Amino acid sequence: MTGPAGWQFAVEIHPPDWRFSAGHSWVGGWIYAGEHRFITDLRAWIDGRAFLGLPGLPKPGLDEKFLGRAGPPYAGFVFRVEPHRGARLLRLEARDPAGCWTEFFRVAITVDDTAMAFPPPAALGHRLPQLMLAVLRLRSQLPHAPWPLLANEIISAALAEPLNSLPVPPFHGALEEPRDSGWLRYGRLSLTGWLAHRTAKITRITALVDAVQESTLRHGLAREDISEVFADLPGRQHSQFVGHVDLPANQSSPALLKVFAELDNGEKHLAFAQRFVPKVIAGGDIALPPFSRADFARVLWALRGAAANYGIPAGPAREMIAGAKSAWAAYRAEAPPKKSRTNSSRAERTPTASSPEIKGTALRPLRVLIATHNLNLEGAPWFIFELARFLSRQPHVSVRVVSPQEGPMRRAFADAGMPVELIDLSGTFRAGSAKEFRRALATAGETKIDWANTDLVIANTMVSFWAVHLAEAAKKPALLYVHESSPIRRFFEPLLPAELFPVVEDAFRLAERVVFTADSSRLVYDYLNERDNVALLPSWVDVARIDAFAAAHDKADLRRKHGLDPAAVLLVNIGSVCERKGQHVFIRAVELLKEELRFTYPGRKIHFVMVGARPGLYLETLRQELLLYRLDQAFFVPESGEIYDFYRLADIFVCTSFEESFPRVLLESAIFRLPIISTNVNGIAEMLAPDEAWLIPPGDRYQLGDAIKQALVAHFAHNTDRADKARTTVERRFHEANSLPLHLAVARAAVGSHP
């Protein structure tokens, strides 16, 4: 059969003559959407009832026929349906990666008179909050779509009955995470469980959520407790599996996870299928649109209309009112405010040396205490080091540093003449209330801080909120430099008790100035700008130092110094190896391109280098993936204080971060004249334009792969247009000679205006 737009499909499993008996029945077959296209989900409609199926099942023979290889994507699908008495029509729909549902099959059916009656759907009122927020988030993805269309999509998704699957003997096992909800960190879903087979050996376990990104899980790990239930099960003591699977940015909800087991006889079986609601705990989530009373009313009206179309009753008035109030409270708390002229005005009044609040203060001593969240070789500590070094070189200015964590940056501060003290805040962060926090903080700061010789506190990153509270207690002014772009409650959930979230928020109110280098970050915390105490200042880059370094160092010599191939094309990803930086997406893009690049550039060596490796589970997981996918062209380099070496030896720079306020690595890459591929998150759009870098959404290995291919084409053609434009823009807007004096002006203004 041939379906829409060249689709091919067949429905092979169904009751004879489409006559359904009472109870559950199976409908199955296969579908192929064409070359370079795939199906992300399937649902069956029986009159007004929807059933989600299991798409993307291996179909030996057909997968090879359509793809020229085994999948994914896999062509097979199956539904488990229970038609109601009197049902007349069955329709099948497929969802594409853009989220559009298309009907591809319909057939008249008859149902036994003993089947169940049409089950009345639950009333709208009790699930109104989650439905309204879902419509609003969908609006963020499709800003021009009519409200009724969005409401119809959300209502139809809510009606669908999911189909899950557990192992069938001789398989035995359990999927322990995820269950009904799946927690996401930077686009990755964690999986845990166990699986064993009575008569065969499991050689490989894989998982996927979308149609094509299949991940290999670690399996055969020790699991002692299974013997208590299955004492005679072979392989039970090494049946544990763990791993991660990537979720596409436009994943529908609920999402479908499929876990497959491959046996030593070559067979591949579906072991688990689990529908779950993705819950983002770190990384980019689909944001709500800016708060609007009018939009709230439109959503409510559209949902009522869509519900009526599907026969969903509104329910009792009191239930609708309660649901609307709950939805309103959640929307009001989570939606970003509309851009406020008042709250952004401080950014347009950056002090200068002639400003009234600092006029005449240049000759006064300025004794600065820098509080940084750690002393690691990371972007934020380097940022504050360069600011501190600039301040310390000004007449009558001295700088000291405190940190709750030791690290290699201590030496950089010390060598620049800035003493560093460690402060123990472990008891402070364990406090169960604001009162306990302040008491513990006072104790921690008593012996480490010389307040008599302190005029100003500069707290570096939101994690250093404690320093603002110390300054307030000592009646000293404070600047809070915020480099983060995550809402406070989400960011601090794994770090602090919830009782301390208001304490973090208070730091924004108590600081003399809250300083941002990206307007997108400022907007995240705009609701805390009650005192109009925000300053939006440009970041900076040391152009002269970079140019001198580039002139003095040969690219090939630096590659040999770090054990890298002088003859290879190097795509370099610089940043601490952690989930937020997205190196897992970088690796998946390398896997995607591995064979294509080998055929496109025969005889050319193209290597992928990740600089910033630090010991930990995440790095171990990435190393395992390199082995699993046999990516011998990808390498890790430890964290280094010689970061300029890697800009100079690179051919192309790649940033795969999920969150970045205003990353210095992009400023420095631009001055080093590197072609730049970067995720377009937070403040990056304020830094570079699409004609100055290849900008892509976070977590999307396909668009990252396309950008890498385009950058390689430009590299081999010696086309430097993007790199040249980026260098010109960054030098003009962020030269340190222009930016750093503005930061000094704000520091002096904070002291001059403090009562």
Q: What is the pLDDT of residues 389-401, one digit of tens each?
A: 999 999 999 999 9
Q: Is the pLDDT of residue 129 over 70?
A: yes
CB 53, CB 95: distance < 8 Å: no
DSSP per-residue letters across 159-222 = HPBP--B---TTEEEEEEE-SSEEEEETTEEEEEEEEEESSS-EEEEEEESSSS--EEEEEEE-
In-domain check, residue 156: no
Question: Tell me, what's the pLDDT at 495?
Answer: 84
Q: pLDDT confidence of 341, banded at 50, 70, 90? A: very low
Same domain, yes or no: 730 and 655: yes
Domain edge (last residue) among 103, 119, 135: 119
Question: Tell me, what's the pLDDT at 272?
Answer: 96
Question: Tell me, what's the pLDDT at 409?
Answer: 92
CATH of the domain at 615: 3.40.50.2000
In-domain check, residue 295: no
Domain edge (last residue) among 515, 540, 565: 540
Same domain, yes or no: 219 and 252: yes
Q: How many CB atoms lie within 10 A of CB 669?
A: 31
- Nearest-angstrom CA–CA distance, 302 and 427: 51
In-domain check, residue 166: no
Cis peptide before 170 (omega within 30 of 0): yes
Question: Tell me, what's the pLDDT at 352?
Answer: 54
DSSP per-residue letters across 340-380 = -HHHHGGGG----TTSTTTTT-TTS-EEEEEEES--SSSHH
Q: pLDDT confidence of 602, banded at 50, 70, 90? A: very high
Q: Report CA 219 to chain centroid distance, whole Å.
A: 26
- Mean pLDDT of the chain, nearest integer: 89
- Nearest-angstrom CA–CA distance, 473 and 331: 35
Cα–Cα distances in angstroms (integers) from residue 345 to residues 225, 250, 431, 740, in the given order? 61, 35, 36, 21
CB 44, CB 27: distance < 8 Å: yes
Domain edge (last residue) among 252, 282, 312: 282
> What percent of the chain is predicted at pLDDT more than 70?
93
Of 422, 447, 524, 543, which Cα lies nearest the Cα of 482?
524
Percent helix, strand, coil in the chain, to 5, is: 40, 25, 35
Same domain, yes or no: 377 and 501: yes
Same domain, yes or no: 96 and 214: no
Same domain, yes or no: 98 and 240: no
**How do residues 372-424 score in pLDDT, each as one tens digit?**
999 998 888 999 999 999 999 999 999 999 999 999 999 999 999 999 999 98
Q: Is the pLDDT of residue 88 over 90?
A: yes
Residue 439, helix vs strand vs coil: helix
Q: How many domains does the structure of the chain reveal?
A: 4
**How do residues 254-312 score in pLDDT, each as one tens digit?**
889 999 999 999 999 999 999 998 877 766 666 778 888 999 999 999 999 999 888 88
> What percent of the chain is predicted at pLDDT more than 90?
59
Same domain, yes or no: 92 and 114: yes
Same domain, yes or no: 574 and 604: yes
Same domain, yes or no: 660 and 708: yes
Same domain, yes or no: 259 and 184: yes
DSSP per-residue letters across 645-707 = HHHHH-SEEEE--S--SS-HHHHHHHHTT--EEEE--GGGGGT--TTTSEEE-TT-HHHHHHH
Same domain, yes or no: 503 and 637: no
In-domain check, residue 296: no
Q: pLDDT confidence of 346, banded at 50, 70, 90? A: very low
Among 74-83, 172-181, 427-436, the minimum mean pLDDT is found in: 427-436
In-domain check, residue 256: yes
CATH of the domain at 42: 2.60.40.650
In-domain check, residue 137: no
In-domain check, residue 149: no
Q: Is the pLDDT of residue 328 over 70?
A: yes
Among 320-334, 581-595, 719-733, the minimum mean pLDDT is found in: 320-334
In-domain check, residue 224: yes
Averaged pLDDT for residues 594-618: 92
Among 376-380, 532-536, 559-563, 666-670, the minimum mean pLDDT is found in: 376-380
Query: What residue numbers bound the domain in which 695 lies?
Result: 543-734
Q: Is the pLDDT of residue 485 over 70?
A: yes
Same domain, yes or no: 553 and 536: no
CB 676, CB 724: distance < 8 Å: no
Question: In sequence order, what are the beta bridge partners of 208?
Answer: 258
Same domain, yes or no: 368 and 494: yes
Q: How many CB atoms lie within 10 A of CB 292?
A: 14
- Nearest-angstrom CA–CA distance, 601 and 567: 14
**How do residues 511-538 score in pLDDT, each as one tens digit?**
999 999 999 888 888 888 888 999 999 9
